[in-house]
Amino acid sequence: MLRFLGEKAAAKRQVLNADSVEQSFVGLKQLISCRNWRAAVDLCGRLLTAHGQGYGKSGLLTSHTTDSLQLWFVRLALLVKLGLFQNAEMEFEPFGNLDQPDLYYEYYPHVYPGRRGSMVPFSMRILHAELQQYLGNPQESLDRLHKVKTVCSKILANLEQGLAEDGGMSSVTQEGRQASIRLWRSRLGRVMYSMANCLLLMKDYVLAVEAYHSVIKYYPEQEPQLLSGIGRISLQIGDIKTAEKYFQDVEKVTQKLDGLQGKIMVLMNSAFLHLGQNNFAEAHRFFTEILRMDPRNAVANNNAAVCLLYLGKLKDSLRQLEAMVQQDPRHYLHESVLFNLTTMYELESSRSMQKKQALLEAVAGKEGDSFNTQCLKLA
């Protein structure tokens, strides 16, 4: 920011940082929700230091608590959201494979008398597994996810047989057990979702599609979205006929739904099908139809503009995207929209640099500190 617009402009940016909020979980949540994730990462670091952990303290005798682990999880999750995968990997290292003795309740009998099991948040395990695929090791991700899935399945099996999670005698009420079954079922579903995503990243489309089909069993309310997603995968490999079949299935499923969401999904799929058949004009018509029903639909807006470009209407396309961004920068300032804008500016004229700078100014005023300036291609 400083580099491009100078100090004065950088000062104009009113952004919350780690100092301007309460030094607690409350302050942390504030920073997260207004997208000041770098500040949030900082604050996590501070709070961890207060716990006796954090910077420069790896190698010393650990003393984890559920709170400290939550702070680590949030810090690592935000690093991933910021795209700082290498940093996240480094900070995950001292935790090994998340099964070290000092990560279990039994290690701290004075702090957690009688409690048993792992203190590691389940979501942290998912994060730990998924991180590898963003570092270019999707096979490692898959392996780790398989391990998590195996454990979830075993626990679920134990619970369904009336035992406790670890296979011992159950000492909870029927209600408690049901709640636990629901929890572990949802965790199993979450793992399967991750696995499907990972297979997709690995471009193993046959397995990815199978995996997404399994996910539907755990998230039946997401059936139309998942079927649409599989349709899109088919489009990506060039199998237009299969995509069409899936989109027809989506239509059947959404007929029972009321409200706009179902209709919009069907229109979106039709638009994509036309794209696959090289019919940009028809695709544009469908995206525009969605905007009539839902004027704030960012995807339809962006995609309609993209179609205009392919139809030879650069100026119209730019106008549509710019209007979208100006109307509600908070909502629409997204990496891919900006990517498209800058690509079109490059095509439009030799004065693209100025326009990009103007964009950066707009962004600076509205976004948190989490914005990825790379998508503006300012070099």
Partner 1 sequence: MEVNPPKQEHLLALKVMRLTKPTLFTNIPVTCEEKDLPGDLFNQLMRDDPSTVNGAEVLMLGEMLTLPQNFGNIFLGETFSSYISVHNDSNQVVKDILVKADLQTSSQRLNLSASNAAVAELKPDCCIDDVIHHEVKEIGTHILVCAVSYTTQAGEKMYFRKFFKFQVLKPLDVKTKFYNAESDLSSVTDEVFLEAQIQNMTTSPMFMEKVSLEPSIMYNVTELNSVSQAGECVSTFGSRAYLQPMDTRQYLYCLKPKNEFAEKAGIIKGVTVIGKLDIVWKTNLGERGRLQTSQLQRMAPGYGDVRLSLEAIPDTVNLEEPFHITCKITNCSERTMDLVLEMCNTNSIHWCGISGRQLGKLHPSSSLCLALTLLSSVQGLQSISGLRLTDTFLKRTYEYDDIAQVCVVSSAIKVES
Q: Which of residues 78-97 bind partner 1 (CB under 8 A)?
A: 80-81, 83
Q: Taking Cα atoms as reference points, which of 334, 376, 374 lies closest to residue 358?
A: 376
Choice between 208 and 360, CB closer to partner 1: 208
Choice between 46 and 232, CB closer to partner 1: 232
CB neighbour list of residue 273: distance below 8 Å, 6 or more residues apart: 235, 240, 243, 244, 247
Choice between 196 and 364, CB closer to partner 1: 196
Per CB under 8 A, which of residues 252..311 are in contact with partner 1? Answer: 261, 264, 268, 272, 275-278, 298-299, 302-303, 306, 309-311
Q: Judged by CB under 8 A, does residue 63 bind partner 1?
A: no
Q: Judged by CB under 8 A, does residue 312 bind partner 1?
A: yes
Q: Identify residue 138 by its one-letter amino acid code.
A: P
Q: Judged by CB under 8 A, does residue 15 bind partner 1?
A: no
CB of 162 to partner 1, least distance (A): 24
- Span interacting with partner 1, options 72-80, 156-164, 247-255, 359-367, rule CB under 8 A: 72-80
Choice between 348 and 361, CB closer to partner 1: 348
Per CB under 8 A, which of residues 144..183 are in contact with partner 1? Answer: none
Choice between 156 and 233, CB closer to partner 1: 233
User: Which of 62, 213, 339, 362 lies at the binding interface for partner 1 (CB under 8 A)?
Assistant: 339
In the chain, % helix, strand, coil (3-state, to 5) comes to: 70, 0, 25
- Is 58 strand, coil or helix? coil
Per CB under 8 A, which of residues 208..227 are in contact with partner 1? Answer: 219, 221-222, 224-226
Q: Can you read off the two tokens belonging to residue 45?
A: 């670091």
Measured between alpha carbons, how far is 174 from 187 in angstroms, rounded to an integer? 20
Contact (Cβ atoms closer than 8 angstroms) between residue 345 and residue 339 = no
Q: Judged by CB under 8 A, does residue 28 bind partner 1?
A: yes
Contact (Cβ atoms closer than 8 angstroms) between residue 369 and residue 38 = yes
Measured between alpha carbons, how far is 349 from 292 in angstroms, rounded to an integer? 32
Per CB under 8 A, which of residues 233..252 are in contact with partner 1? Answer: 233, 235-240, 242
Contact (Cβ atoms closer than 8 angstroms) between residue 372 and residue 335 = yes
